[in-house]
Structure formats: C-alpha cells, structure tokens
A and B are shown apart, each in its own frame.
Chain A
C-alpha cells in the first residue's frame, strides 16, 4: 500500500498576526447583516421583492419549492364515476417495507373492473415515504404528489388516513360526513378502524 504523505499546513506570518483575519470574518458577517437588514426593510415597503433577503424560508408563510420527484403525502387517484382507480391488487401492501398499508378488497359491480378497495388505510405514523407503493402500482392508483408535508397530529390514531382522506387530500381531520357513494369501510362507518397490521 502506497503511503501518502500529508504535509502539515503551516500558517503564514499574515495569518499568524490573527487580528486581520478576525476583521475579515467580521466583514463577511456584517455585510450579510446589513444586506439582510436593508432588504428586509425594503421588502416591508414593497420594494426590491425580486431580491431574496436571506437563505432562510419563512415557513409556514413561505413554502420551499418542491422538486417534481419529491415524495409527499399519498393520494388515491379517482375514476370519473367517483370510485378509486385502485383495484385492490394489494401489491403496495405487499411491497410496503413499513407495513403501513391496510387494504380489504371487494367486488366491483362492473365485471370489467371486478375488484376495488372497500378499505384502504395508510398509517402515516409508520410510513417511511419510500415511494415503493407508487412504484409498484400497476394502475397508477396511488401517487405521492400532493405536496403536503405538514402531517402532524396530537395522537397516533390521527396519523392514520382512511379512504376518504386518501381520495380527497384537501380533507382535514376531523373528516365530516361520509361522501363516498360506493360501499366501503371507514372510521365514519362504525366509528373506528378495524384490525390492521
């Protein structure tokens, strides 16, 4: 094995003087401070909006731009008749490494669709946002493109999404009336989630 000789970095006389470099550092910090002070004041007055004041995003008033491939909260895509595109093949439940997806399948009245999920729950408290469910779906029925990042709740139970919240990402807890027109199982049906992993 070849030996690599690393030379110790010796300070020059200018650097050893100490004070000039301290002043150099103070200059950078102060430049940022005064620039931000100026620009924030200008923004308050509605001026110079095209210049960013600082690298900090003022969350939640200001949201960071998301990359197109960014994986955010899940949603179930919907057919024209209001039923989910999902056919209950359970590949996402199978592939899920966190075992956070719970599906119960039922008979669809249209024999060309045959199967649909009567229950589809995702436990976001368990989900690792790996995106395998989206990857594996043969029907493009589940996507992670809602852009919702602020998933927060006061209890673990509230982290569980049922078919209502998955089909309509705009819904927020507590979900009001059950608006789905097809037979399904949800927490609104009997007041609680049944079983699960």
Chain B
C-alpha cells in the first residue's frame, strides 16, 4: 500500500483511496463542500486544495489518488492562499443573509470563512439575483442564491435515492440549482438533501424558523418507525418553551452507522416525531377520573394478585408491543408470563406506512419485532393479539393490559367499547391519548422512547441502544420502572433497578443476548450471536454490501467514550 506524508506525518493508505481520506485517518481535517464520503466524487468546489510536492499546481485532495512517496502539505502558505481565493469566489454571489438563514450556526461557509478565509471582500459589484424561498417539495425549501453549486444534492438524487429530480442549469454566474421541469422533490429520502447541503440552499420546511441551531441539544438514539432501526440524533430544546409551542423535539438527524443506515434516513422516520410532544397522556386516570400512581399500582396489583391466587392466571392477558425495549419486554415476560402465567403477546398488526424498498425502509413499522421474537413474545409460538381479544370478548379473559397500542385501529370502536364492558380490568399504559386510553379502566402515562433507556433489535439482528435524551413528561413513568413497581407489589421483587441491570439479567437468561452488555453494544450497536430461531444471515450481509468501500465520516458518535454520558447542556 502506498505510504505518503501529510503535514510531516506518514500514513499507509489503501491503494485507490484519495488524499482527503488519508488525511481524515490521520485526523487532519481538509475543508470540503462537494466531497461527501457517501457520494461519488465531483471535485467542483475546489476548497480542498492542498500542496503536493513536485507538483506545479495545487491539487484537490478529494480527487487526488494517493501514491507512494507523496508529500502533502495542507497548511502551507500556498495551500491556504489557494483556499482563501476559492472561498472568495464561492462567496462572491452569496447573499450573506445569515440572520434569516436556518443553516447559520451549522453552515460550512461560515465555518470555513472563520477558519480559512478571513479576507477583506473585494467584490463591489451587484450580486446575481435568483429565486429565494421556493418550496420544491413537501419537506424541502430551496434558496438558489445561497447555493454554491457543489452538486451534492444532485448526486444524492442520482445515486442514493435514484430519483434524479435535481439538476444544475445555465452557465457561469447564472448557473443555478433547480428541479427538472414538472418535477417535485417528493421521494421517501428527500430530507437527506438538507443534511448534505453544506450551505443554506436546501433547508427543512418542517424545522423552518422554529429555532436557531445553537439552541439545540443533541442526544444519540435509534429511530423507532421501522424495523431497520436507523441511528439518529434527536435534537431538542428544553429551556425555551416559547419556541415551537413548547414542543421539546425539534428535529431528527441521521447518525452515521456503516452497518445500518450510513449517513441517511427516510422521511417517514425523520418527520415522525410529533407524537413525542403532542397529545401526551399526563395524568393517571381511573375510569375517566384523575388518580395517582400509588393508587393505580396498588389497585392493579391487587386485581392481578387476586387472579393469580384463584389459579386463574390464564384469565389474564397482556398485549405488549414491539415499541417496547428488550428490557421492558423481558420484564413483562418475567412478571406476567413467569409469575402470573398470563397470555402475553407482542404480535400486533401495525398500520402500514412507507412502502418497503431495498434500501432503508422496511414494511414492519415497529423497531423491536426481532427482540420480541427472541423473547418468545412474537412470531411463531406466540399468541396473536386478535385471538386474545376474541377470547376476551367471549368472556374467557378477565383482565387485559395493553401497552401503547390503539386497539380501535385493530378491531374498531364498537368492539373496543364492548371489550371495555366485558373485561373486569382493562389497563392501558402508553404515551398518547387514543380511543383505547379513553375506554380503559386504568390509564397509565408512560415515557416515549427518547425519554427512557433501553435496547432495540433491528431486522438484521443488530442490537442497538436507544439511550435517554431527556426526562419523561411530568407524571409519566418509564415502562420498566412501572413494571418493577408492579413486581414489588406482587411480592415478587426483582433485584434490578436500572435498564442496564435489567439488560444484564436478560443477557444471563436469554441465549441470543448472552455475553452482551451496554458497553459492548456501544453507540454503533452489536450483532447478536447465533439465535435459536435465527434470521437469515444474508439479511445482515446485504446491509454490509451497501456499505461498499466507503470510509467512515466525521459525523456520528465515536466508538470510545459513552455517548450517553453526562452532557453539560441540558
């Protein structure tokens, strides 16, 4: 492999890689606009200029293949001069409307001007006027003046989403980014062009003007909208309730994971976070009347214990959910199946969403179906939710606990009403107000997935930690802490106190999870070992084949260090 020297340090880079990739591995950052590790190389922005010895002209690092004995200077006076001149050209027609631009604060024009520019502008002429604030699709807003024509979005729609909406039209300073005539940017991955746009030309319509990016705190988590389990960062604001009608979550951004989603995520996941702040349950309710946790837990546990004492455990059923973490499903299994002998299932049909494709979107819209299957609560051998409801309607089940699901979408309002009348006890624990919540005897408000710690197993058998971004809404509790409390009330106290400890118990009990811990899962997840029910290994391989030879990007949490450790900003 060629050995080259970058800024006086030697590196052994793979044949066929480029100087920018070799520099990245050395920890030397070379500025870039058009270069993106997930896209083909265009080499048109010219900001990544470096000096290569014995080469008369400056070279662009993104398209200069490494050769043996190459000596590269990224910080020489020549390279910096070239870079500054390029930046001056890129900014010649830039409108400098940073105050109204949503990108400001995370804009590479701002960053690189401060790091590599700092020149006195010499452009006194009239700037070219182009179209501003054009909604080019349901999610994306285009500002042609701010565009620096790096063509990242063009390459994204050509190579990744393969929809080809974007093009660069006209020439010279009249060149502009636009959609082909009659097109709209309305593909399932359209939000990604906002992420890859290094300037404010493509901004998010959903996030538009809601907050400044420097107000946002970020926490790593995993998308819960389908079985792919894309790694995401949740961006939230806790200290400015006047923004966005008091909603805490403002946007989701994909987090790099080579084996799951690389740099991307779909729009269904990206914009499907409203429920975290809207229509949340905030009060424990007993048949429509506000109650307290103490009363609720005592009353429910007493009823469960009564059913247990009468040896009628089979008259008790639980409809769990694949939206619950492995830890919570494990507790449900231990308490309801183990202690109480109840019928437990997590196999509930969910409404369809975005159509499955061969990239990220999966038909299964729950994030932990495989986890529930490995715990025996879903898939072959587990009862079906509709079967349990039929049993209940025929009076063979006295108490039913529903975790999060809205049964009205499954069986309809009338049957739900009948179910509520037939059952002695109908408990609903969940996050949002639904028909099931309003018909339940007890309503227990619980935490959304970003408000609690735990793990999901995605469809390829990769176990991933969802972390905890911020505390639950007032008066709601995490499902796992509720379940531990129920166990205590049933006189079967469990030794665990945190999701981490529950996971340890899970890893000791359930074979596929053996040997895993939150440390080994880390921020990038870990593949489960061989499983008894198994998942086709080629599934996992297909994930890998999409990765290709691409290098790891600068984004994403590091493997070292706990990304869920204490954060300074709350």
Contacts from A to B (Cβ < 8 Å) = 87-91, 94, 102-107, 111-115, 119, 138-139, 194-197
Contact = CB atoms under 8 A, between A and B. Distances in A.
A138 B100 CA distance: 11
Given A111-B133, A115-B100, A139-B99, A196 B241 contact: yes
A88 B209 contact: yes
Contacts of A138: 98-99
Interface in B20-36: none
Contacts of A90: 212, 215
A113 B99 CA distance: 10
Of B100, B133, B241, B243, most A-chain CB atoms within 10 Å: B100
Interface in B234-280: 239-243, 246
- Provide the main secondary structure of the chain A interface: loop
A88 B239 CA distance: 18
A190 to B, nearest CB: 13
Contact of B99 (A91, A106, A119): A91
Contacts of A139: 99
A113 B133 CA distance: 10
15 contacts: A88-B100, A88-B209, A89-B98, A94-B212, A105-B209, A107-B209, A111-B133, A114-B97, A115-B100, A115-B209, A119-B242, A139-B99, A195-B241, A195-B242, A197-B242
Interface in B196-210: 208-210
Contacts of A115: 99-100, 209
Given A89-B99, A91-B99, A112 B243 contact: no
Nearest to B246: A195
Contacts of B214: 94
B242 A87 contact: no
Nearest to A86: B99
Given A89-B99, A107-B208, A112 B132 contact: yes
A197 B100 contact: no
Contacts of B97: 114
A114 B100 contact: yes
A102 B242 contact: yes
B140 to A, nearest CB: 15
B112 to A, nearest CB: 20
A194 B245 CA distance: 9
Of A87, A88, A112, A196, most B-chain CB atoms within 10 Å: A112
A89 B209 contact: no
- Provide the main secondary structure of the chain B interface: loop
Interface string B84-102: 0000000000000111100
Given A88-B209, A89-B99, A196-B242, 16 more contacts: A88-B100, A89-B100, A90-B212, A94-B214, A94-B215, A102-B242, A103-B242, A105-B210, A107-B209, A112-B132, A113-B100, A114-B97, A114-B132, A115-B209, A195-B242, A196-B241
Contacts of A113: 100
Contact of A106 (B209, B239, B242, B246): B209
Nearest to B133: A111
- 10 nearest A-B residue pairs (beta carbon): A89-B99, A195-B242, A111-B133, A195-B241, A115-B100, A105-B209, A111-B132, A114-B100, A87-B100, A138-B99
A90 B209 CA distance: 10
B133 A114 contact: yes
Contacts of A119: 242
Contact of A197 (B98, B209, B239): B239
A31 to B, nearest CB: 60
A87 B132 CA distance: 15
A68 B137 CA distance: 51
Nearest to A102: B242
A195 B244 CA distance: 11
A194 B131 CA distance: 35
B99 A197 contact: no
Nearest to A194: B242
Contacts of B210: 105
A174 B239 CA distance: 30
A113 B210 CA distance: 16
Of A107, A111, A115, A197, most B-chain CB atoms within 10 Å: A115
Contacts of A102: 242
A157 B209 CA distance: 27
Nearest to A115: B100
A58 to B, nearest CB: 43
B5 to A, nearest CB: 43
A195 B245 CA distance: 8
Nearest to A91: B99
B325 to A, nearest CB: 32
A91 B214 CA distance: 10
B214 to A, nearest CB: 7
A100 to B, nearest CB: 13
A146 B97 CA distance: 28
Contacts of B133: 111, 114
B454 to A, nearest CB: 31
A181 B115 CA distance: 43
Contacts of A112: 132
A117 to B, nearest CB: 10
A104 B243 contact: yes
Contacts of B242: 102-104, 119, 194-197
B246 to A, nearest CB: 6
A107 to B, nearest CB: 7
Contacts of A107: 208-209
A132 to B, nearest CB: 16
Interface string B10-45: 000000000000000000000000000000000000
A102 B239 CA distance: 12
A43 B246 CA distance: 60
Contacts of B131: 111
B343 to A, nearest CB: 46
Nearest to B102: A115
A196 B240 CA distance: 7
A194 B242 CA distance: 7
B568 to A, nearest CB: 17
Interface in B164-208: 208
A87 B209 contact: no
Interface in B89-125: 97-100, 104
A138 to B, nearest CB: 5
Contacts of A111: 131-133
A104 B215 CA distance: 13
A88 B212 CA distance: 10
